[in-house]
């Protein structure tokens, strides 16, 4: 898995690479040798997930809508932020649970409110009076094999109340906790209804080559495949019922500016065949690596033909580009790179100096 971002000029910069280290498989095997499921109430909070501001108290927003995206969260920095190449990838492209919690509190304090991406893309965002709209998205909500044992979550799961949690594996077994973006946002909105307009939470962008949401629904020959599909569908139903929406992040997560139209057709067909039956139809497409196409590209025609009319790339300013039957929305990446390079631009959202976990990242401060 590789993470890149695109500059405004369209040049794609290779920013880092996550590669499976030789020992990670061993760690994974050891940790999953004796699977014991137990739920840890101390860190699993019951959530009333539909808290939101009534529509009658929302006002129309005129102007651009900001959009921030994250990856799944680093739960154990001591396992993730190593000196290995993948460790640098985590430092560059991920944030920790503590950093994300701090960011949410500051977003709220600074007047931001989560809005639905489709409303934002159509210029129909609305917010409580005096507040500002924000689209939140999370990329690669797949819990890839090469990240699981390195201090990140293993999959999403439903607790005994039906709330969405993250499954962690460690030497003591398997636990459902709140240590990931979805449960943290659910809990925060529950306690801060002004933070959500129209019940919106965020956009979950998923690939397909290792299934979705940590469920390997791509492995159709697995003996427990139907149970895997059932778990994934139950998660999707709960997520959609509580304000989350889905986006295609492609099936294979390759740089699509470098592939043929035929290859893109194959990839989109795979997503439609394997992902859409699980997560449902969506008109939102999040370019892998943020690497998008010119608005008049035949690849835009192809994506539109698959129903994708809201396309997300990456930039450091909020911008909607409308044309050729689609709307392209920019997003800001929130991670170690933007903490380092964009503290001034991010100041209206949060104060990097009080958010970034310098100790966990090994940064002298």
* Closer CB to Zn ion, 92 or 159, in the complex: 92
Closest CA to 199 of 112, 113, 137, 102: 113
The residue (of 140 and 283) whose beta carbon lies closer to Zn ion is 140
- Least distance in Å: CB of 202 to Zn ion? 15
Q: Choose between 139 and 267: whose C-beta lies nearer to Zn ion.
A: 139
- To Zn ion, the closest distance from the beta carbon of 190 in angstroms equals 28
d(CA 333, CA 340): 12
> Minimum Å distance from CB 221 to Zn ion?
26
Binding site for Zn ion (CB under 5 A): 139-140
Q: Are 173 and 34 in contact (CB under 8 A)?
A: yes
**3-class secondary structure, 322:** strand
Shortest Å distance, C-beta 320 to Zn ion: 21
Q: Give me the helix-helix angle, 97-109 and 181-191, nearest 10°.
A: 30
CA distance 151 to 36: 18
- CB of 251 or CB of 350, closer to Zn ion: 251
Q: Which is nearer to Zn ion, 71 or 175 (CB)?
A: 71
- Judged by beta carbon, residue 198 or residue 274, the one nearer Zn ion is 274
110 contacts 349 by C-beta, under 8 angstroms: yes
Q: How far is the CB of 20 from Zn ion (least distance, A)?
A: 16
Least Å from the CB of residue 94 to Zn ion: 11
User: Alpha helices, DSSP H only, in the chain?
Assistant: 24-32, 77-80, 85-93, 97-109, 117-121, 145-148, 181-191, 225-241, 261-270, 276-279, 298-305, 336-341, 343-346, 352-355, 358-361
Distance (Å, rounded) from C-alpha 350 to C-alpha 104? 9
């Amino acid at each position: 898995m590789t993470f890149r971002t695109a500059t405004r000029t369209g040049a794609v910069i290779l920013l880092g690479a996550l590669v499976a280290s030789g020992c990670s498989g061993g760690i994974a095997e050891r940790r999953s040798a004796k699977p014991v499921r137990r739920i840890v109430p101390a860190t699993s909070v019951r959530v009333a997930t539909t808290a939101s501001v009534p529509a009658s108290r929302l006002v129309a927003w005129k102007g651009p809508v900001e959009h921030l995206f994250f990856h799944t969260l680093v739960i154990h920095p001591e396992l993730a932020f190593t000196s290995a190449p993948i460790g640098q990838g985590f430092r560059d492209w991920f944030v920790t649970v503590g950093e994300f919690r701090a960011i949410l509190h500051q977003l709220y304090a600074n007047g931001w409110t989560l809005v639905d991406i489709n409303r934002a893309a159509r210029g129909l965002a609305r917010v409580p009076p005096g507040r500002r709209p924000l689209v939140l998205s999370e990329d690669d909500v797949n819990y890839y094999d090469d990240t699981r044992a390195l201090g990140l979550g293993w999959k999403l799961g439903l607790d005994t109340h039906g709330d969405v949690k993250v499954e962690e594996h460690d030497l003591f077994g398997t636990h459902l906790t709140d240590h990931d973006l979805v449960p943290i946002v659910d809990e925060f909105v529950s306690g801060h209804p002004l933070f959500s307009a129209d019940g919106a939470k965020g956009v979950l962008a998923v690939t397909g080559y290792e299934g979705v949401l940590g469920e390997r629904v791509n492995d159709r020959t697995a003996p427990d495949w139907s149970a895997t599909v059932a778990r994934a569908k139950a998660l999707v139903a709960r997520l959609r019922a509580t304000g989350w929406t889905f986006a295609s992040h492609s099936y294979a997560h390759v740089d699509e500016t470098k592939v043929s139209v035929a290859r893109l057709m194959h990839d989109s067909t795979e997503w439609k065949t394997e992902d859409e039956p699980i997560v449902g139809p969506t008109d939102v497409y999040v370019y892998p690596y943020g690497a998008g196409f010119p608005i008049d590209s035949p690849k835009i025609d192809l994506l539109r033909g698959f129903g994708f009319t809201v396309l997300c790339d990456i930039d450091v300013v909020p911008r909607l580009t409308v044309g050729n039957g689609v709307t392209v929305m920019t997003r800001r990446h929130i991670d170690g790179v933007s903490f380092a390079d964009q503290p001034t631009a991010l100041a209206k959202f949060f104060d990097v100096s009080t958010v970034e976990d310098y100790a966990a990242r090994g940064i002298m401060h």
